[in-house]
Amino acid sequence: MKNRLYITLLLVALALCARAETIVLHTGARVQGTIVFQNEEVVIVRDAEGARFQYPRADIQVILAEAETQEEEAPVEEEKIETPKKAQILLELAGGGAVNPGAQNGGAASVDLLVGTHHIGNKHIFIGAGLGYHGIFMGEKYNFLPIQVALRMPVLEQKHAPVFGVSAGYGIGLSKDYRGGIYASLDFGYRYQFNPKSAFAITFNVQFQQAKVAVTEVLDGNEFTNYSGRSLVMPGVKLALYF
pLDDT, tens digit, for every residue of 60-103?
Answer: 888 887 654 444 444 444 444 344 556 789 999 999 998 886 66
Name the β-bridge partners of 23.
31, 63
Domain chopping of the chain, boundaries:
2-72, 87-242
pTM of the model: 0.59
The CATH class given to the 2-72 domain equals mainly beta
Residues 6+ apart with CB under 8 A from 110: 92, 93, 94, 95, 132, 133, 134, 135, 207, 234
Element housing 45 (H / E): strand 42-46
Fold of 87-242: Porin (2.40.160)
Question: Can you spell out the DSSP letters for 102-147?
Answer: TS--EEEEEEEEEEEES-BTTB--EEEEEEEEEEEEESEEEEEEEE
Residue 199 clears pLDDT 50, i.e. is over it: yes
Supply the pLDDT for residue 175.
84
Of the CA atoms within 13 Å of residue 238, those in its CB half-sphere come to 30
pLDDT, tens digit, for every residue of 149-172?
Answer: 999 999 988 889 999 999 999 999
Which of 168, 196, 191, 194 minimizes the C-alpha distance to 181? 168
Amino acid letter, 160: H
Which of 169, 167, 174, 170 minimizes the C-alpha distance to 136? 174
Amino acid letter, 180: G
Q: How far apart are CA 47 and CA 42, in angstroms?
A: 16
